[in-house]
A and B are shown apart, each in its own frame.
Chain A
Amino acid sequence: MAMKTLTAQQKQALTTMRERIGGISEEKKQHAKQLKAARKAIIQMLAEKPATAPDIAAALNMPSDEALWHLTGMRKYGQIIEAGEEGDYLLYALVVSDQAAATSH
């Protein structure tokens, strides 16, 4: 994706918004950190083989509703797809990068 450099005016506007919203809260920073770590770990796990939400929850020691939420976001933004069922659960698999653009919606 082509990345432009921010103009001086855009940088100033960004600073203005940051000030108006009272800076970046500790909660937001923690959320960003945990999201990044969880997504990285899920991608590593799915790179090995497809997995269900409870598999991911157990391997990464997180509640299974959280694992499911991550998978939902990754599916929405085209990083993973459904890959069949295992018992009562769906398996999710990583999308290989040239497939990612095609499956995203």
Chain B
Amino acid sequence: MTPTTEQSNAYRPDALVVGGGIAGMQSALDLADQGLKVMLVERGPSIGGHMIALAKVFPTLDCASCITAPKMSASSHHDNIKILVNTEVQGIQTLNGVHHVKLLKKATYVNFDKCIGCRLCEYACDAEYPDPLEEGLGAKRAIGVAFTNAIPQKAVLDPELCATCGTCARVCPTDAIEFDQQAETVIVQTDAVVVASGFALNSLNVKPQYNAARSKNIISALTMERLLAPHGPYGRVLRPSDGKIPSSVAFVQCAGSRDASIGVSYCSRVCCMYAIKQAMLLSGALPIADITIYYMDIRAFGKGYEQFYQNAKAMGVNFVRGKVARIDPVDDGDLSLHVETTEDPENFLQEHRHDLVVLAQGMLPDWDMSGTTPVQRSSDGFVATPMLTSPTLTTAQGIFVAGVAAGPKDIVDTIAEAGAAAMQVSQYLYQKRSANVSESQTAVLVG
């Protein structure tokens, strides 16, 4: 374990935002534009959250990074936003209306003030491992910049992978590498907090009958996003077991949601739409491949979504209504899907063979803040939002929520909610501060 030191931070923002995904960035920008000082805290090496890893977005098929990168850039250049990456929010304690937020600033072993993002260290490093940001399919080195359009463009050294050979320090032109850096615990005081800590997906192995552990060709939807992204691990869609260009791709819906037996009885809301989007993108990338979506029902609730679904059908994507009961790995890396369909009463138990399968996993809350913050969670694990008419209010005064931290939702709803949370924060701060001012005025008059 790396030792840590604990200190109080002299900088006191008006609001602190937990998580640098699209929700966190939007809230931070909307607050900063009103002249409020914001600290945006992200656990990973770059801001951008899940959205920066997506290929394109439904229902417009706009390039995801073309929308996310300008928000990342605006956040990082805003005079009123201070961004901390590689920093985890570990807890919030509220004393006399002031939130004391506990941050773990992880050691990066690189002095960010000196690093110019030239990546010479990364090219010189020999320690190469599977890259978790590429769902394990790509490669990363023990030191390097997280990804091409990461913000900030600063190298980070991973001590778990480092062989301590010292080569990176030998080639660094600015002497930025500091092998003796240590993690620090810092307490930041602020009047308001926005929780925008987003989501994680449940494991591919959550349903053992899908046998994901036995085949490299049963992949997550986020892996498919990376395969479809221009800077993805292979630069095109290949199946992970052997690099074959797939000819038959299946999407299995509700593979980690709407199932009380795995503890996720709710609908994850975005997987129908992203499967349709990925199927459409695949039709373009692999024109001769057959693409099938196995679904229970299609949830196309947003503006333009039903049309998007109809477009996919018109493009030749197969939609098979039914439940995939079991997936068996067969020869040549292929997969056999056992499906109970409602399409054909004469032949409702069917078996279909595909060479790549994408599971629509369930969305789970990323940050478990129970016990370490005054915020309560609802029974599904997401942040509780007790007031129907104010969906960004939590159970704790001065702590607000935005995006998937409050429950599964798409980007459009996330952005709308992030703006609403910013508005609630500024209103709260105004009221709190004017109450403080009138209290002190009363004290002066009475005293």
> Residues of A with Cβ closer than 8 Å to B?
1-6, 10-14, 16-18, 20-21, 24, 28, 31-32, 35-36, 52-54, 57, 64-65, 67-69, 71-73, 75-77, 82, 85, 88-90, 104-105
Contacts and interface: CB of A to CB of B under 8 A. Distances in A.
B178 interface: yes
Contacts of A53: 242-243
Interface of B: 2-3, 109, 120, 123-124, 126-130, 137-139, 148, 159-164, 166-167, 169-171, 177-180, 216, 233-236, 238, 240-245, 247
A65 B164 contact: no
A13 B157 CA distance: 14
Minimum-distance CB pairs A-B, first 3: A73-B139, A53-B243, A64-B242
Given A20-B159, A69-B137, A75 B235 contact: yes
B169 A24 contact: no
A64 B129 CA distance: 17
Given A64-B241, A88-B244, A88-B245, A10 B163 contact: no
Contacts of B159: 17, 20-21
28 contacts: A1-B171, A3-B171, A5-B170, A6-B166, A10-B166, A10-B179, A13-B179, A14-B166, A14-B179, A21-B159, A21-B162, A24-B163, A28-B161, A28-B163, A32-B126, A32-B163, A35-B126, A53-B243, A54-B243, A65-B242, A68-B242, A72-B137, A73-B128, A76-B139, A76-B233, A77-B139, A90-B245, A104-B123
A18 B163 CA distance: 8
Nearest to B231: A105
Given A1-B124, A32-B127, A65-B240, A10 B169 contact: yes
A105 B178 CA distance: 25
A68 B243 contact: yes
Given A14-B179, A17-B159, A104-B123, A72 B241 contact: no
A13 B102 CA distance: 28
Given A3-B170, A3-B171, A72-B138, A18 B130 contact: no
Nearest to B178: A13
A32 B243 CA distance: 24
Given A20-B2, A72-B139, A105-B148, A65 B216 contact: yes
Nearest to A74: B139
A28 B126 CA distance: 12
